[in-house]
Structure 1
Amino acid sequence: MARAELERASNLLKEAAEAADGDVQERLYEQSDQLAKLATREQGPDHGRLARHMTVLHDLAEALDGDVAETVREARSEVLEYRKGVPGV
Structure 2
Amino acid sequence: MSDDRSELRTAAEKLHEAREGTDHADAAERLETYAEQVETMADADRGPDHGRLARLEHNLHDVQSDLDADATEAVKSALEHAQAYRSTVEGV
TM-score normalized by structure 2? 0.91
Instruction: Name which structure has the greater RCO, CA cutoff 8 Å, separation 6+.
Output: 2
Aligned match of 1:30: 33
Is the Cα–Cα contact under 8 Å of residues 8 and 38 in structure 2 kept in the other structure? Answer: yes
Corresponding letter in the other structure for 2:57: M
Structure 1 unmatched ranges of 5 or more: none
Could you list the runs of 5+ residues in structure 2 that have no partner in the other structure? none
More helix by share: 1
Once the two structures are superposed, residues 28-69 of structure 1 have per-residue CA deviations (whole angstroms, 9 ceiling, x without a partner) of 000000000100111000000000000001111233231110
State the aligned residue count: 89
The within-5 A match list for 1:46-57 is 46-57=49-60
- The within-5 A match list for 1:70-85 is 70-85=73-88
Decide whether the 8 Å contact of 1:16 with 1:28 is kept in 2: yes
Runs of 4 or more consecutive aligned structure 1 residues displaced over 6 Å after TM superposition: none
